Amino acid sequence: MNSPGDKVSRPANAAVEGKVGCAICEVRSISVCAALETHELCQLFSLAHHAAFPARETLVRQDEDADSVFNITEGVVRLYKITPDGRRQIVGFAIPGDFLGLALADRYGFSVDAVTPVRACRFAREAFAHLLDEKPHLFRRLHEFATHELSLAQDQMVVLGRRTAEEKVACFIIAWRDRWVRLSRSSVTVELQMSRQDIADFLGLTIETVSRTLSRLARERLILIVPDGVRLLNPQRMEALAAA
């Protein structure tokens, strides 16, 4: 679980640094930290280990002791489970502002790998749980996140149901666009930081089907395939496909 980036440096005046550092964090307004007032940030800062993970580094391994929780501040990670027959099922992707790892179980129910270089605030689970006891407004914010994640999981069950491959891929692209728009990213060019295989494992398709579907959407001039993503040429039709 330890990474070369898991080094913690504390300034001489940690309280001041905590207020300033957390207050200027680009994702604070959309993360769980938004529940805290400025004067409370120094307490959060005192618990944070600022970790950096290179692409393909593992943050969390399935079935290991759940001793840490993470607030992603930069980059993209994939969450996946290994099935009893050894297959990988990607259950989601996390981006800046997402919170990972706080569950009732004592062991992680999934693995987490960095898709791109990732930065995160890492907290000891027990210490963070104590903070939640002291800050009920932070607990409520986290509960909102958990409810939202449950809604996304239910949506994913629908996506994996009776939709066509074209509808699944369109739904993925539009949903991914909408998540990044919250971070003020472009709503026209959708960066796909993950591999085609990752998308296939998430949507329950083969990599060949994902590639053929993207090519078909490009031929129909709904999208333009560009380096590291796609450009939406006809957002309305893509949204209609995603909503089917």
Domain 14-156: give its CATH code.
2.60.120.10
The structural architecture, per CATH, of the domain 160-243 is: Orthogonal Bundle (1.10)
Q: What is the pLDDT of residues 20-32, one digit of tens each?
A: 567 677 888 788 8
Domain extents for the chain?
Answer: 14-156, 160-243
- Which of 242, 237, 132, 221 minimizes the C-alpha distance to 178? 242
Q: What is the pLDDT of residues 50-88, one digit of tens each?
A: 999 999 999 999 999 999 999 999 999 999 998 888 888
Q: What is the pLDDT of residues 134-182, one digit of tens each?
A: 888 888 888 777 776 666 666 666 666 778 999 999 999 999 999 999 8
- Which of 116, 88, 105 minimizes the C-alpha distance to 180? 116
Mean of the pLDDT values across residues 111-133? 93
Q: pLDDT tier at 16 (50, 70, 90 boundaries)?
A: very low
